Amino acid sequence: MAANVTVADATALMALYWPKFVEYQGCVFLGFKFSPEGVDQWLERLPGDLGAVESVVNHVHLWDHFTLTSDAEYAALSELAAQIAIIWRSAARQAFPEREFDISVADGTGGDGPTISLVSI
């Protein structure tokens, strides 16, 4: 199936599908979610719990990236979340071959929509 998207849209999708990563304060963050100020605030709020900081910062609601117009699209977005998680695992392994990662996927039945989170372990 062919799609016609702008270069800006394709670039945004590329960042979501094969993210760049930032290593900061012993953590790994999705480049498109990272800001030093934001991470520093979470490090202060969750002292010593780097996994929790990564989980909060690297928590992505797919609703924030896609416009849904039907129940069928919602179902497809849940499937897409699982596929993006597989891609993130590959991207993280390539960027940090010496580290392990836990990529979690929630289908959104709790009301937050499909979500993906990345934590180094």
Given a contact cutoff of 8 angstroms between Cβ atoms, the answer to whether 95 and 31 are in contact is no
CB within 8 Å of 74: residues ≥ 6 apart? 68, 108, 113
pLDDT bin (cut points 50, 70, 90) of residue 95 is very high
Predicted pLDDT at 113: 83
Predicted pLDDT at 40: 97
The span from the CA of 52 to the CA of 121, in Å, is 11
| pTM, entire model | 0.88
Predicted pLDDT at 54: 98
Tell which wins on pLDDT, 98 or 75: 98
Q: What is the largest CA-CA distance in the chain?
A: 47
Tell which wins on pLDDT, 73 or 26: 26
Indicate whether 110 pLDDT > 70. no
